[in-house]
Every structure is written in C-alpha cells, then in structure tokens.
A and B are shown apart, each in its own frame.
Chain A
Amino acid sequence: MGYRVTLRVNGERWELDLDPAETLLEALRGRVGVKSPKVGCERGDCGSCTVLLNGQTVRSCLVLAVEADGAEITTLEGIGCEGLAPVQRTLLEHNSFQCGFCAPGIVLSAVELLAAHPHPTRHQVQEALAGNLCRCTGYEPIIRAILGAGEEP
C-alpha cells in the first residue's frame, strides 16, 4: 500500500510514495538517491546511517520513512555543498579517516555537537561519537579534529 509522504532532503522537496515497511535509510538511498548514509548494522549500534532529522541526529535504519513526513532531513551531501564545513576541513587536515565508511555519520554527529557546543570538551566529543563506530582509526585523529574545529575562530 502506498503512502504519500512529503519531506525535504538537503533543502530539496521530495514527494514519495512509500511502503510503510521502508526505513528512512532505504528511502534516502533508494528513492532520493543520496548514498552517504551507509547500511551498516541496521540495528542502531554502528551509527553509519546517521542523518539529521529536524536538526537532530537519528539512526535512519530505525526510522520508518513514513515517520519523516513533513520533516527536514540533512545528510552529508547537505553539509559540504557550499564548500567544506569547518569540521570537515579539520578532519581533512588531521587525516582523520582511512576507509571512510563511518565518515558521513561522524561528520553529522560532529555538526550536531558543534551546533550545541561550539567549543566542546574532549569528554563531550567522546560522548557525541559514542554511537559512531570506526574500525580503522582508533578515534584519536577524529577527536582531535573535532576539538580543533571548536578552537577555530
């Protein structure tokens, strides 16, 4: 059964006919065509499917796409579209990622953190990243980059 849903993705209006069993992750990747939210654990543990829903990070694998009716969704594609965000620059400078699978989720978690706490403490950064698993880096270069973004004028 089709459900007509209207939502904005990175500022663009989308009208979708959805099956209620579709997750937001599936709708974003399959119908809208944004591929930065990754299919990882699909149970909310790994954070690779993180998107901003009305400004808050959510696990898009745990949200039904129909729940997002009327919502404003931001994915990584909506963050760097007008030049790199400050935290993306510091992540680049610190060579923070290796394979990059976790990167979209981590950038969005950092964006949410820095919006609420422009100069976060190390503890706040660690808390913000606690739900974003990275199997390459050991987190240290990521944490340093986010702290560095908080120090920028």
Chain B
Amino acid sequence: MTLTRSFTYVKPGSLDEALALLAEHGRAAAALAGGTDLVPWMRDDLVAPDVVVDIKGLPGLGGITLVDGALRLGALATFSDVLGSPVVSATFPVLAEMAGVVASVGIRNRATVAGNLCSAVPSNDAGPVLLAAEASLQVAGPDGERIIPLSDWFLAPRRTALAGGELVTGVTVPVPGRHGGCYLKLGRYRGEDLAQASVAVLALPGSRYHIAFGAVAPATVRATAIEECLGGRPLDEATLAAADDLVPEVISPIGDLRSSAEYRTHMCRVMLRRALRAAAQRLGGDGPPYGERLL
C-alpha cells in the first residue's frame, strides 16, 4: 500500500454535514477535491489527516458562472473546466491562458483552482492572475461565511489564512472591463513542469497595470511598486528600464534544483517586459492570441 497511514474517508452530501465534520476534527481533517496535491502529500507524510472529507458530493460547488460582473468559480471547478468555459474565454481569457499551462491534461481534469490556492505552494499557477485581478475566496465555517481577499490569503509556503474547521466554497474574480491580460510561466522544458517563475499582467485603459509574480517569493506577490512606476506612462525603453530596476525589490527568489535565484530574477525582467507588451497589445485588440507561446 503506497499510502501507509490509515484514515477515515467520508463523503458528505451537504455543506452542513461537511462543516460539522471539519469542525469536529479541526486540523486532523483534510478536505479532498481533486487530490492531485493531497494524495501525494499524504504519501510523502507532508500531511497526515485522520479524516479525509471528500467534498465532491456537495451540491452547488461546481461550475463557473458570471454574476454581477464577476466570475464565480465553485470550489470544484477544475483547470479543465476553466479551459473549456465559454464565459471565461469571453470575459477573462487570461484565466484560460493560465489554466492551459498547468501540469498536464490528466492533472487539469482533476485539479481545482480553489485547491491550487489552498495548497499554496510558491509555484502555484492560479495565484498570479487571480491576485492581479483582485480575486477573493468564499469560505464557510462554523461561524457562517466570510470573504478572504486573495491579497490576505497566502501566509507562507503551504500556509493560508484558512482556519481549522473552514472550507473554501468558491473563488470570485471581478472581471475588469476593457483589459488585456497575459500569463507567462517559465518551466525547464516544454511540457509539464512546475513554474521556475511566472508573471501575470493585466493592462487597463489609461496605461494602468496590475502585475503579480509567482514562484519567486514565499507567496504569490503583487508588484505594487512596479504598477505605480508604470502607471500613466508609455511602455517605452525608459519606462521598461525603470520597471527592470524595481523587479528585485518586489521578488525574493530562492535558488533550488529548478533554477538559481539570479536566473529567476533575470527571467522575471524578461518575462515582465514580454507580458507587459502582450497585455498592452491585447488591450488594443491586436495582440497575440491568448495561449500562444511567448517564451
């Protein structure tokens, strides 16, 4: 048996039942959606839940809908769901661009966007685009529902603001009006890999930008200093050079088996320039199609 630690498996049929289980067992319980992180983490003893609560039987947690100008992703929405969603491609295609570079088809069929945020590894793919879009998480718990802005979500690698007994029920993504987006992810090779570095850019009218980096700090980081530097200025060489200088102030990459800190910093500059250009062109309606390889 490859999972050597025994545990109890429960598949509740209602949110109340799930919350009661999570409240009863607290940190000893783990919510299971796609399992693409939870199962290997249990195998490696990174987590050792006594009770695994499969949330795939809960009604109303699937699907992607547009409600009041915001995309609402249920906690069970997978990356394949995002890729195949007409409402995503019509309103916020950069989310699909991101989903298309997550791992492989077989993983995307199971892995959920909410789960990716809950795993909170520094190289998570959902974080940068959603942080740039100022998304938030809906959380249900013993004291009712609360909203956690994604900017308050990531505390440290694999640590989030989710309290014991709580369950993420969905992710809300305010769709910017006219915008251009771009998500670039650097892997070691074509095909599936974790990010060595990633950047998400949203270009908005008036030369305003929202920018976030992934895999180059303990958590996904918003590049506020760069956004302020770029705001209102044309994307010329002087502006881009000023943004280059700010990159090391925003990120704090480590060196590991996937790349050195120096390489990550260098590539963040390269990727930021390309993503800014592509996002600005897409804002203007003449950029490269979403999903095209720009690295």
Contact = CB atoms under 8 A, between A and B. Distances in A.
Interface of B: 1-9, 11, 32, 35-36, 39-40, 43, 52, 54, 56, 80, 100, 103-107, 109-110, 190-192
Interface in A53-68: 56-59, 61-64, 66-67
A19 B109 contact: no
Nearest to B36: A62
B35 A47 contact: no
Given A23-B39, A59-B110, A130-B192, A44 B103 contact: yes
Given A20-B52, A58-B106, A131-B105, 15 more contacts: A3-B9, A20-B9, A22-B3, A23-B3, A23-B39, A26-B1, A42-B40, A43-B40, A44-B40, A45-B192, A57-B109, A59-B110, A62-B107, A67-B35, A128-B105
A133 to B, nearest CB: 9
17 contacts: A1-B8, A19-B1, A20-B6, A21-B3, A23-B2, A23-B3, A42-B2, A44-B107, A58-B109, A59-B106, A64-B35, A64-B52, A126-B190, A127-B100, A128-B105, A130-B104, A131-B191
B54 A67 contact: yes
A59 to B, nearest CB: 5
Interface residues of A, number: 34
Residue of B6, B43, B106 with highest tally of chain A CB at under 10 A: B106
A109 interface: yes
A72 interface: no
Main secondary structure of the interface of B (DSSP, over half): loop
A64 B54 CA distance: 10
B2 A47 contact: no
A1 B6 CA distance: 9
A106 B36 CA distance: 20
Nearest to B1: A21
A1 B9 CA distance: 10
A62 B275 CA distance: 34
Contacts of B106: 44, 47, 50, 57-59, 109, 131
A62 B7 contact: no
Contact of B39 (A45, A57, A62, A132): A62
Residue of A50, A62, A63, A131 with highest tally of chain B CB at under 10 A: A62
A58 B9 CA distance: 20
Contacts of A26: 1-2
Interface in A1-41: 1, 3, 19-23, 26
In the A-B complex, the 8 residue pairs with the smallest Cβ-Cβ separation, listed nearest first, are A131-B104, A20-B9, A21-B3, A130-B191, A57-B106, A56-B109, A43-B40, A62-B39
B110 A21 contact: no
A47 B9 contact: no
B5 A63 contact: no
A45 B187 CA distance: 14
A5 B190 CA distance: 39
